[in-house]
Amino acid sequence: MSKKIVVALGGNAILTDNASAEAQQAALRKTAKYLVQFVENGDNLIISHGNGPQVGNLLLQMAGGSTAKNPAMPLDTDVAMTQGSIGYWMQNAMDEVLSEKGIDKDVATVITQVEVGADDPAFTDPTKPVGPFYSKEEADKQKAEHPDFVFVEDAGRGYRRVVASPRPTGVKEYRVINHMVADGIIPISVGGGGVPVVKEGNRLAGREAVIDKDFASEKLAELVDADTLIILTAVDNIYVNFNKPDQKKLENITVAELKKYLDEDQFAKGSMLPKVQAAIEFVENSNNGKAVVTSLENVDKFLSEGAGTIITR
């Protein structure tokens, strides 16, 4: 029986040291070869992805060319723009590899709006760095031009704007995505964590924020009743005591066991921590679903041997 699988791609699946369109398209062609293995396995695939470097580059380009007649776009629109550009590259890459394999299947990008709470405390405590580095003088100038912006010193490298990173509460297009899967289409969705929106009466209004793509992928997987949430990152497994002499690889683990490691602060913020938290939330909130954390390069071993870190209830 085929399984419905949400696969969340890390940034290393899209962007290398070269930020050109050609280099990112080449990286995605390699990524597509791994992802098509799920299709060959008979699974119904939903793809999600990050956009941190891309939206940062776009902010930099807009800041450099912004004028009164041609102003820079707000952050929610920038997220939508990078959803479109990455989705365009990814669906072309998937189409190419599917064609090479003789698989007749359509791939399409959904510009996805992810709902967040207007009263989420993250809006009063922005922590997510975005965009270029500034000197103190440049940051002060930006602050004078944009009084609502918040700037912080970032690890001795200069000042950066920080924005809110609220938790997702819903995915507006999840029913569309489910219909696409039922019709045999591979959706690319919640790119970059989705466009952050809040309900204002009968409309959804964008917000200057960046949603963590692991949490957005978890919420989508929950809403579409996925069998499995797979979070692909740079390592084959979750580790405890990472990079220490007594480093330990986690393979098959329950939510209760993983929570004990959370209580020990085993996982780095902004790195493995949100992946672990998203995996736990999916397993707890799904109908007997499981979560997997592994690397893109380990997909074949996951499919053939169950390799990776597998989290179950």
Is residue 69 part of the annotated active site? The answer reads: no
Active-site hit among 3, 12, 170, 206: 12
pLDDT reported for residue 260: 96
pLDDT reported for residue 285: 95
Is residue 275 part of the annotated active site? The answer reads: yes
Is residue 232 within 8 Å of residue 50, measured between CB atoms? no
The string of pLDDT tens digits covering residues 253-299 is: 999 999 999 999 999 887 899 999 999 999 999 988 999 999 999 99
Structural domains of the chain ordered from first start: 1-113+169-226 (3.40.1160.10), 235-288+303-312 (no CATH)
pLDDT reported for residue 12: 64
Active-site hit among 275, 289, 290, 298: 275
Is residue 213 part of the annotated active site? The answer reads: yes
Residue 191: CB atoms within 10 A of its CB come to 30
Is residue 128 part of the annotated active site? The answer reads: yes
Which portions of the chain are predicted below pLDDT 70? 11-12, 16, 56, 131, 155
Active-site hit among 4, 128, 219, 290: 128
Q: How far apart are the first and last CA of the chain?
A: 21
Tell me the β-bridge partners of 182.
none
The string of pLDDT tens digits covering residues 116-151 is: 999 999 999 988 877 677 899 998 988 888 787 888
* pLDDT mean across residues, the chain: 91
> Is the pTM above the cut of 0.75?
yes
pLDDT reported for residue 16: 66
Active-site hit among 3, 11, 30, 237: 11
E-strand stretches of the chain: 4-9, 44-49, 107-109, 113-116, 128-134, 150-153, 159-163, 168-171, 186-188, 195-200, 203-206, 228-233, 238-240, 248-250, 252-254, 290-295, 309-312
pLDDT reported for residue 155: 64
Is residue 30 part of the annotated active site? The answer reads: no
pLDDT reported for residue 188: 98
